[in-house]
Amino acid sequence: MNQNKNHIILKKSISLFFSILLLGFSLAAQTTAKRPNIILIMGDDMGFSDIGSYGGEIKTPNLDSLATEGLRFTQFYNTARCCPSRASLLTGLYPHQAGMGHMVYDRGTPAYQGDLSFDAVTIAEVLKQAGYDSYMSGKWHVTPYVVENPDKSNWPKQRGFDRFFGIISGAGSYYDPLSLTLENDYIAPWENFYATTDFTNYAVKYIEEHKTENPYFLYIPYTAAHWPMHAPEEEIAKYKGFYNEGWDALRAARYQKMKEMGIVDPQWQLTKRDSLVDAWSENIPDKEWEIANMEVYAAMIDIMDQGIGEIIRALKAKRELNNTLIFYLQDNGACAEDLSWMQSSSNDTILKPMAPGELQTQGMPERTRDGKLVRKMKDAWPGPPEGYTAYGRNWANASNTPFREYKHWVHEGGIASPLIVHWPDGIKKNKGSLQETPSHLIDIMATCIDVAGAEYPENYRGNKIPVPEGVSLRPVFEDDALIDRELYWEHEGNRAIRKGKWKLVSKVSKTRFVETPEKLPLDHWELYDMEKDRTEVKNLAEAYPNLVQE
């Protein structure tokens, strides 16, 4: 009887052992299966209402499809400018903590050193330690551009990326950008080069050529739709006649559509036309030129969306779409810049074509590669490589519908960004919904760490790393709330804090860099209730002086 009992115990023990073993294998397989690929896509110098799923008339069916099948965040924030936003996005820190409080110029302090700090880690560096492969195609712009013998220690391949194609600098011709780089070396563009299309081509290439069992992180920061207004004629033709009614009519139409979509609360008033924006009338000077700029701008965004469609098709071909976490966002609000600081070449003589393989080293080229003189703004026509224009404040005011201000400033027009999140295997409860949770670029790092099962390091390459500032957005994917917290901004002396429904903001009257905090102008502070008045129309600072002081 004891023998039978022992036999039964032994049999149960063996059965239990194998059950635990199988459970372990199952959990390991489940863990592996849950580690998604991560694709982070960013648009450049675009307004809150430009893409279709946020109220725009521009044709963005691929982004709209991601939004319909995923989530749209309606209160997501950037930092109001390209370099700070990229540094914040990549590190999960506020830009000043990452050395990028302003642009890629050294202002003499760690917060404004103009070069990505080695006391910060990038998403690519963190995910690499968790077994991810990392690729990048697009705009870097978190280290100075140097022509001869550049210090490459802060280039993408030295900051965690296995493969890189794109530009190191911030802006330039779409047909012939300065600082075009493949892996770790500057290169010249090829025939029929167009930045947006070729950034897409390399992103697709990286997906198709990814052969390891590791999941991957792919970062695609497009330059579209940053000036100059460049696009092929056949793409511009799609938008002929779209903008003949002008920017006032465009703002009104977008505002109405955004209310119908639920992006805008009907109690939020459409802000008054910027005082520096002309009323649209028959007397607008150079009206055809103005319309042409917006047509090209729309085409640039359309081409980017087509590229996102190619990326989606590549994922579907490899059966990876369902377990790929895709983010789409923008680096700042619409850009009101008029390029007044740039100078067209005074050389009216016939120029020679550039030599094959000759590098472009100017943001605004003196000549096209086939030898045509490049002209700017109203001396040029938007679209082809010999034109170098921006669409300016008038259209930017419409792009930022319904908000105030633009890139540079920290009113909502400068810092509000769409955020689309798509992940079929990870977002099941609330697909297609609008999420009103206030969130920020700093949250992307935390989210990537969470879904990848990665660990954020306390030390990296001998440097002590600051604790990340963001929180994971994954609870929102599962229809839960995030913790209450404050969010902060400072750029060129423009300052803001968001705490719950309240936002306190102060604007420097001119776009400029303030050297030290002691030199900040004593501008008045404005207080807004973001639930009732996200368009920042009714300043409540006098009504709540204690809250302002706090």
Q: Where are the alpha helices (DSSP H) in 41-142?
A: 61-69, 82-91, 123-129
pLDDT digits (tens, 9 = 90+) for 442-455: 999 999 999 999 99
Burial (CB < 10 A; 0-12, 13-18, 19+), residue 432, is exposed
Q: Are 101 and 81 in contact (CB under 8 A)?
A: no
Residue of 488, 497, 493 lying closest to 516 (CA atoms)? 493
Q: 116 and 84 in contact (C-beta within 8 Å)?
A: no
Q: How far apart are CA 336 and CA 340, in angstroms?
A: 11
Is the pLDDT confidence value at 395 over 90?
yes
The pLDDT score that the predictor gives to residue 523 is 67
More confident residue, 466 or 16: 466
Which is it for strands 37-43 and 216-221: parallel, antiparallel or unpaired?
A: parallel
Q: Is residue 429 very low, low, confident or very high in pLDDT (cuts 50, 70, 90)?
A: confident
Q: Which two tokens stand for residue 29?
A: 């397989």
- Per-residue 3-state assignment (H helix, E strand, C coil) for 476-533: HHCCCCCCCCEEEEEECCEEEEEECCEEEEECCCCCCCCCCHHHCCCCCCEEEECCCC
Give CA torsion, residues 101, 218, 186, 225, to 10 deg: -60
Task: Compute the average pLDDT of residues 28-49.
Answer: 82
Residue count of the chain: 550
Predicted confidence (pLDDT) at residue 370 exceeds the cutoff of 80: yes
The answer to whether the predicted template modeling score (pTM) of the entire model surpasses 0.85 is: yes
Taking only the tens place, the pLDDT of each residue in 290-346 is 999 999 999 999 999 999 999 999 999 999 999 999 999 999 999 999 999 887 766
Strand spans (E) along 277-368? 324-330
- Sequence-ordered alpha helix ranges (H) in 351-480: 392-399, 412-415, 442-452, 474-477
> What tokens does 240 get?
């002929």
Residue 480's pLDDT is what? 83
- Tell me which residue of 192, 195, 159 sits closest to 180, measured CA to CA: 195
Residue 16: pLDDT above 70?
no
Report d(CA 490, CA 100) in Å as an integer.
11
pLDDT of residue 508: 83
Computed on alpha carbons and rounded to an integer, the radius of gyration of the chain in Å comes to: 25
Closest of 173, 234, 161 to residue 202, by C-alpha:
161
The pair of structure tokens assigned to 457 is 């390091």
Residue 25 has pLDDT above 70, yes or no: no
pLDDT for position 431: 92
Q: What distance lies between CA 329 and its chain's CA centroid?
A: 4
Q: Give the span between the Cα atoms of 247 and 281, in whole angstroms.
A: 10
Residue extents of the structural domains in the chain = 35-482
- The residue-averaged pLDDT of 410-418 equals 98
| Position 347 pLDDT exceeds 90 | no
249: confidence class by pLDDT, cuts 50, 70, 90: very high
When mean pLDDT is compared across 1-15, 169-183, 451-465, the lowest value belongs to 1-15
What would the mean pLDDT of 273-301 be, rounded to a whole number? Answer: 95
Confidence (pLDDT) at 346: 61
Q: What is the rounded distance in angstroms from the CA atom of residue 497 to the CA atom of residue 486? A: 7
What does the CA dihedral 232, 233, 237, 241 come to, rounded to 10 degrees? 100
pLDDT tens column, 527-543: 999 999 999 999 999 99
How far apart CA 307 and CA 403 sit, in angstroms, is: 28
pLDDT at 514: 47
Q: How confident is the model at residue 33 (pLDDT cuts 50, 70, 90)?
A: low
Dihedral pair phi/psi, residue 482, rounded to 5°: -90, 165
Say whether pLDDT at 459 is over 60: yes
Check whether 21 has a pLDDT greater than 50.
Answer: no
| pLDDT of res. 511 | 53
- Select from 410, 476, 445, 536 the least CA-distant residue to 73: 476
Is CATH 3.40.720.10 the right assignment for the domain spanning 35-482?
yes
Q: Cα separation of 441 and 430, whole Å?
A: 22
Residues 238, 224: Cα–Cα separation, whole Å: 17
Element (H, E) at 39: strand 37-43
Name the E strands within 190-346: 216-221, 324-330
